[in-house]
Structure 1
Amino acid sequence: MFDAVVIGLGAMVGAGVFAVLGPTAGAAGSGLLIGLGVAAVVAYCNAMASARLAARYPASGGTYVYGRERLGEFWGYLAGWAFVVGKTASCAAMALTVGAYAWPDQAHAVAVAAVLTLTAVNYLGVQKSLWLTRMIVAVVLAVLVAVVAVCLGSAESDAGRLEVGLSDGGFGGVLQAAGLLFFAFAGYARVATLGEEVRDPARTIPRAVPLALGIALCVYAGVAVAVLSVLGAGGVAEATAPVADAVRAAGAPGLVPVVRVGAAVAALGSLLALILGVSRTTLAMARDRHLPGALAAVHPRFRVPHRAELTVGAVVAVLAATADVRGAIGFSSFGVLVYYAIANASAWTLSPAPLARVGPAVGLVGCLTLAFALPGASVLAGAAVLVVGMAAYGARKRMAGYQP
């Protein structure tokens, strides 16, 4: 249980809290906290749907497996495709965040080095990944607690800056902020994708997922309130590193280097868990021949999908060398929201009881609403990649002699 919660926290309490506050404040202004609440509600519905499904189907692959079993092969494939593509972009964003905080002048080189190092850690097995993730989560939580204490205890802190309302972007801006914030919440799926590697998954996963999400929500809410109380919505929107800027404005410049190190460590934690989750979904899709069958190989000693690990690591390294972090966040959010929409649709079929379907219905509508509220470029790019995936599925079915 403890290790499963740590894996989820390692994916959620990561670089998102350091990087996403600026763009969301720019979209929602003083409505940032409303957006955080909306994202949390949708994430909670998704978490409960994922937990119920993981208890029924404790196998690696997450919604790829759930969609296939509950809705049909195509929907499982589409979920897996959206997850692998979206989370590969997330990996690149996390790697670039490591570089931006650790060595801004060589951000891309540091990002590639981080990807290669953590791919090697994952290759050696999930237990070694858990050991490193425990350390990362402990460091990041300590840094964030210090940030909240310094900001809220500062003379610069003003509760009047926390006034919640709608900015010029209106309700659409709040929804866009919620969609971007969802990028930071989505890590709880890492627990479900490890269905074959946790003890007693039918009992552990449904408890670990909401617990990890609840802890992450408390952390994000505390940091958002602390930063807003010092900088205000306008200051957060203009800041390139809002958490570090808030600490500096609060009169604690000596803590700024600690925050920079904490941000880099947080991004490493997210990257570690993301590579772990993407490779496991790749394994499940390769087993069903939706991806090359060679990727389904499991290492005889380390018991990990080593070819999938190496392939994912190589693709992420290329993206980390060439991509832009803000564009990667929006693109990733679209893919992941589509993935969870399919998860909620799958959970809808588990029980005909009306009360049991309320959560999946809210989650499904919420995911689709937030996905299409994202910046237009992210929506267009994400939709285009989904169409490419659907075309590949149809081509494979035709080549196999079946109707698409």
Structure 2
Amino acid sequence: MPLARRLNLADAVAIGLGSMIGAGVFAVWSPALGVAGSGILIALAIAAVVAFCNATSSAQLAAVHPVAGGTYAYARAEIGPWSGFIAGWCFVIGKIASCAAMAMTFAAYAVPEQWRTPVAVLAVAALVTVNCFGVTRTALLTRILVVISLIGLAVVVTAGFTAAPTASPTPLPDATAYGVLQGAGLLFFAFAGYARIATMGEEVTDPARTIPRAIVLALSGAVVVYVLIAVAVTLTLGADAIGSAHPIADVVTAAGWTGLEPVVRVAAAAASLGALLALLTGIGRTTLAMARESDLPRFLAHIDARWQVPRRAEIAIGLIVIGIVLVADLRGAIGFSSFGVLLYYLIANAAAFRQTGEVRRYPRFLQVVGALGCLLLVNTLPLVASLIGTGVVLLGVGYRMLRLRVARGTEHPHRRSR
């Protein structure tokens, strides 16, 4: 049963913005500033360039392959099944880590420290339930959360720029080339939300036109927001932002606007929920596509007849995210997520590079820059995150090799009986 095409351009842009705004602005500044130091804006520029190249590849591929699954489906069609599997597996594991990071970020802004883990678990359970009752409800809720987030961020930017002339922030550490690149790799985590649009290609109206436009619009809007927030954070907090669980709220406090701190915390919580909701939706669609091809258990390919959503996949993902929330921390989740997502886009660039003729929308050099950027940034991520990521990727490869061997073993006796 195919998924229903119910999402228009505004819905798709809202889902992309919901993923990026929550993921980037409210979660990534502390670890990124810790490694990039005074080079934070250079790191942001590098991450934005790599993200733009990747976005054009995703847009070009999505216009030709308007189905659920994103680069999993694109790489299968353009390169082959193994490339598609690795892309899909990297996406699923990276974005499951992102979901955990978003749930933890929501709880960090919303409740006192002792309540953060149970509240994060409840948030995941609640949004999985929303996703199980239809994608139009998901898009509507994401729009509301994005608006609330942008209102809060407007308060932060205004407070930060107003206080900047008299502020005396603690100087940031000096930048190093390696630190700037590692910061770019972590900041890339903040830009990956446009992939949610591509993975929902089977539910977007007029996908060949809508998906490329939505990806570029969502990414452009996110870049503007990130630059404004980065400047506000560095001008008012400086090195004090490093290690903070809620640096965006700290900007308002440092500016003397303490009465508006609750507004920012509400906006941060809303942004994190918006990102979590959109992330859960995207992972569910990639899981559905992989299950349809038996690259994940076929049990997960079921689509609910009434609500037309992959309910089993949504519930399974939600349970895994809850497990990560119970055992992981925010920094580790961000590093692991960046590892998986950068490999995913490396394959997306390779798939787009192979496209020829009338389907090409962007020059090939963008795919080359995107692929090289992904390789560079993935090799600068924290060592522990990279080692764990490599192990999980190899685990997925081993699973598929075993499944193919079992499938061949069951085919041979059948052939002999003929």
TM over 0.5: yes
Q: Does 2:46 correspond to 1:41?
A: no
1:334-381 C-alpha deviation (Å, 9 max, x unpaired) = 000000000000000013899721010000010111111101111111
1:278-312 C-alpha deviation (Å, 9 max, x unpaired) = 00000000000011101111111101011111111
SS at 2:237's partner residue?
helix
Q: Which residue of 2 aligns with 1:264?
A: 269
Q: 1:351, 1:357 within 8 Å by CA — same for their partners in 2?
A: no
Q: Which residue of 2 aligns with 1:151?
A: 160
Alignment of 1:213-292 (within 5 A): 213-232=219-238, 234-292=239-297
Amino acid at match of 2:330: V
Q: Does 2:329 correspond to 1:321?
A: no
Report the CA distance shift for 1:355/1:193 in structure 2 as closer, same or farther (over 3 A): closer
Alignment of 1:348-363 (within 5 A): 348-351=353-356, 356-363=363-370
Instruction: Tell me which of 85, 96, 114 is aligned to 2:104.
Output: 96
Q: Which residue of 2 aligns with 1:123?
A: 132
Q: Which residue of 1 aligns with 2:151?
A: 142
Aligned partners of 1:306, 1:290: CA distance in 2, in Å? 18
Aligned partners of 1:177, 1:247: CA distance in 2, in Å? 24
Aligned partners of 2:65, 2:368: CA distance in 1, in Å? 20
1:97-144 C-alpha deviation (Å, 9 max, x unpaired) = 111221221111001100110001000001001111111000000000
Q: 1:89, 1:332 within 8 Å by CA — same for their partners in 2?
A: yes
Alignment of 1:294-333 (within 5 A): 294-333=299-338
Aligned partners of 1:173, 1:7: CA distance in 2, in Å? 31
Greater shift, 122-131 or 318-327, is seen at 318-327
Amino acid at match of 1:133: T
Report the CA distance shift for 1:355/1:271 in structure 2 as closer, same or farther (over 3 A): closer
Q: Which residue of 2 aligns with 1:185?
A: 191
Amino acid at match of 2:101: A
Q: 2:108, 2:246 within 8 Å by CA — same for their partners in 1?
A: no
Q: Which residue of 2 aligns with 1:376?
A: 383
Moved over 6 A (4+): 160-163, 352-355
1:152-178 C-alpha deviation (Å, 9 max, x unpaired) = 0125556x9799xx9545111001000
Report the CA distance shift for 1:372/1:199 in structure 2 as closer, same or farther (over 3 A): same
Q: 1:162, 1:228 within 8 Å by CA — same for their partners in 2?
A: no
Alignment: residue pair count: 399
**Unaligned residue ranges in structure 1 (runs of 5+):** none
Between the aligned residues of both structures, percent identity stands at 53
Aligned partners of 1:305, 1:280: CA distance in 2, in Å? 7
Q: Which residue of 1 aligns with 2:74?
A: 66
1:313-342 C-alpha deviation (Å, 9 max, x unpaired) = 111122222221110110011000000000
Amino acid at match of 1:197: E
Greater shift, 237-246 or 380-389, is seen at 237-246
Amino acid at match of 1:304: V
Amino acid at match of 1:18: F
Aligned partners of 1:373, 1:366: CA distance in 2, in Å? 11
Amino acid at match of 1:227: V
Aligned partners of 1:355, 1:194: CA distance in 2, in Å? 22
Aligned partners of 2:362, 2:293: CA distance in 1, in Å? 34
1:213-239 C-alpha deviation (Å, 9 max, x unpaired) = 00011001111111111122x222243
Q: 2:159, 2:251 within 8 Å by CA — same for their partners in 1?
A: no
Give me the CA root mean square deviation: 2.0
Aligned partners of 2:228, 2:316: CA distance in 1, in Å? 38
Aligned partners of 1:238, 1:92: CA distance in 2, in Å? 19
Q: Which residue of 2 aligns with 1:195?
A: 201
Q: Which residue of 2 aligns with 1:23?
A: 31
TM-score, scaled to structure 1: 0.95
Aligned partners of 2:227, 2:42: CA distance in 1, in Å? 11
Cα drift, residue 248 of structure 1: 0.9
Instruction: Tell me which of 37, 56, 62 is aligned to 1:54.
Output: 62
Report the CA distance shift for 1:399/1:107 in structure 2 as closer, same or farther (over 3 A): same
Cα drift, residue 150 of structure 1: 1.3
Cα drift, residue 390 of structure 1: 1.1
Q: Which residue of 1 aligns with 2:88?
A: 80
TM-score, scaled to structure 2: 0.92
Amino acid at match of 1:385: V
Q: Which residue of 1 aligns with 2:141?
A: 132
Amino acid at match of 2:311: H
Q: 2:38, 2:175 within 8 Å by CA — same for their partners in 1?
A: no
Aligned partners of 2:175, 2:227: CA distance in 1, in Å? 22
1:68-91 C-alpha deviation (Å, 9 max, x unpaired) = 111110000000000111111111
Q: Does 2:376 correspond to 1:365?
A: no
Q: 2:55, 2:215 within 8 Å by CA — same for their partners in 1?
A: yes
Aligned partners of 1:236, 1:117: CA distance in 2, in Å? 31
Amino acid at match of 1:305: P
Q: Which residue of 2 aligns with 1:397?
A: 404
Aligned partners of 2:21, 2:166: CA distance in 1, in Å? 24
Q: Which residue of 1 aligns with 2:17?
A: 9
Q: 2:164, 2:235 within 8 Å by CA — same for their partners in 1?
A: no
Q: Which residue of 2 aligns with 1:171?
A: 177
